[in-house]
């Protein structure tokens, strides 16, 4: 069947955007937090900074939070959803002298993520304060296996146990994440299709936590740079951290845009509202994809556009993180088998 994975991560909010941001007006200060939020921020050991990937204001807020933590001597690690595990060796060697080569080394411009210039200040701040920089993204080969075989295609058996991936999500969480996926696909996919995508969302959350488990020191603060959907407390990274690190103090931030639908109460510990960022209507791209899929099912050849570029497997949407369907053949193809062993060798493919 045709997969949504090439297009779905681009399509996770269907609100209209009213302003084009040319200069950031967003900033972070402790005065923006109420008394409880200030205490929670001061005591947090894990801070999740949920972004709309292409919004410059959100990256300004992230950088200023990293700077404050670094200045206080609390910043010890930063996990990036945008960099996959195969690049951990490069990230572990980052220092001010070679930071300028990172963009080229990890081939960022071919990754499909928004411009590197948005993320460079985050890498630079982490390096400035000697924080461990951690890759939190699933490598493409693991993602392909995940679609075919489920969790055992992307994670080793010990990792699956350590990440509690076999523990069922609550009915409430399943409903919420299913709605998130459906909303993100402009309500153009059947409910059962959205349900099949839930394990993919969960695996992306787990991938970041795997990076944290393997690389982050336990003293100080670890910050996650991730999409806002992954930072949702009801079903995202925080819900897995409750199982993986139940004693860790987690503080989750969701960055939203003016004009977007407000998140449910309790979805985040703190919400920042910024100017909206002008972007093409994601539902137009989704509609085109669905139309082409329908034509394909009718055995009609879709004219090939030689100038068309494959949509990148990244998120530019406000709520983020939904990948393609998780249904897979029961029998693995001969040349692609699920992972069976844990350890460094399994991570360096």
Q: What is the pLDDT of residues 282-330, one digit of tens each?
A: 788 788 878 887 777 665 554 444 333 333 333 333 333 333 322 222 2
Is 123 or 188 the better-scoring residue by pLDDT?
Answer: 123
SS3 (DSSP) at 224? strand
CA-CA distance, 71 to 60, in Å (whole number)? Answer: 16
What is the rounded average pLDDT of the residues 151-163? 96
CA distances from 127 to 22, 40, 49, 95, 339 (A): 27, 25, 18, 6, 33
CA-CA distance, 46 to 43, in Å (whole number)? Answer: 9
Reply yes or no on whether the pLDDT at 206 is more than 50: yes
Dihedral (Cα; 85, 87, 90, 91), 10-degree rounding: -50
Is 310 or 90 the better-scoring residue by pLDDT?
Answer: 90
pLDDT at 214: 97
Reply yes or no on whether the pLDDT at 236 is more than 90: yes
pLDDT at 297: 65
Range of lowest pLDDT (147-151, 154-158, 265-269, 288-292): 288-292
Q: What is the pLDDT of residues 4-55, one digit of tens each?
A: 333 333 333 333 332 333 345 689 999 999 999 999 999 999 999 999 999 9
Could you tell me if residue 187 is left (phi over 0), alpha (psi between -120 and 50 degrees) or otherwise beta?
A: left
**What are the tokens at 341?**
């062993």
User: At which residue do the structure tokens 């993204």 appear?
Assistant: 137
| Non-local CB neighbours of 246 within 8 Å, separated by 6+ positions | none
| Cβ pair 241, 206 in contact under 8 A | no
Residue 71 pLDDT grade (very low, low, confident, very high; cuts 50, 70, 90): very high
| Cβ pair 84, 140 in contact under 8 A | yes
CA-CA distance, 120 to 123, in Å (whole number)? Answer: 5
Query: pTM of the entire structure?
Result: 0.79
Is 316 or 279 the better-scoring residue by pLDDT?
Answer: 279
User: What proportion of the chain, given as a percentage, has pLDDT over 70?
Assistant: 78
Domains of the chain: 8-278 (3.40.50.11550)
- Give the E-state strand segments of 176-240 in sequence order: 221-227
User: At which residue do the structure tokens 């058996």 appear?
Assistant: 157
């Amino acid at each position: 069947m045709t997969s949504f994975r090439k297009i779905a991560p681009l399509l996770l909010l269907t609100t209209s955007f009213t302003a084009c941001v040319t200069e950031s007006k967003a900033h972070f200060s402790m005065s923006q937090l109420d008394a409880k939020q200030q205490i929670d921020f001061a005591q947090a050991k894990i801070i999740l900074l949920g972004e709309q990937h292409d919004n410059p204001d959100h990256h300004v807020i992230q950088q200023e939070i990293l700077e404050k933590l670094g200045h206080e001597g609390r910043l010890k690690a930063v996990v990036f959803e945008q960099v996959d595990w195969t690049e951990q060796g490069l990230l572990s060697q980052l220092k001010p002298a070679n930071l300028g080569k990172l963009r080229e080394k990890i081939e960022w411009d071919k990754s499909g993520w928004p411009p590197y210039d948005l993320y460079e200040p985050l890498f630079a701040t982490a390096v400035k304060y000697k924080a461990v920089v951690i890759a939190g993204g699933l490598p493409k080969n693991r993602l392909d296996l995940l679609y075919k075989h489920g969790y055992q295609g992307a994670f080793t058996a010990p990792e699956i146990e350590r990440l509690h991936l076999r523990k069922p999500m609550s009915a409430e969480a399943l409903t919420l994440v299913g709605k998130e996926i459906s909303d993100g696909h402009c309500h153009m996919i059947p409910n059962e299709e959205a349900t099949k995508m839930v394990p993919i969302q969960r695996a992306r959350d787990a991938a970041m936590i795997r990076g944290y488990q393997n690389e982050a020191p336990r003293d100080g603060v670890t910050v996650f740079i991730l999409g806002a959907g992954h930072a949702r407390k009801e079903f995202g990274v925080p819900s897995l951290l409750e199982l993986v690190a139940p004693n860790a103090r987690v503080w989750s931030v969701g960055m939203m845009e003016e004009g977007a639908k407000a998140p449910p109460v309790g979805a985040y510990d703190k919400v920042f509202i910024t100017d909206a960022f002008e972007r093409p209507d994601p539902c137009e791209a989704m509609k085109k994809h669905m139309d082409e899929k329908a034509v394909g099912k009718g055995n009609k050849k879709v004219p090939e556009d030689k100038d068309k570029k494959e949509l990148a497997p990244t998120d530019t949407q406000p709520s983020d993180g939904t990948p393609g369907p998780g249904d897979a053949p029961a029998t693995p193809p001969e040349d692609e088998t699920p992972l069976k062993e844990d350890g460094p060798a399994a991570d360096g493919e």
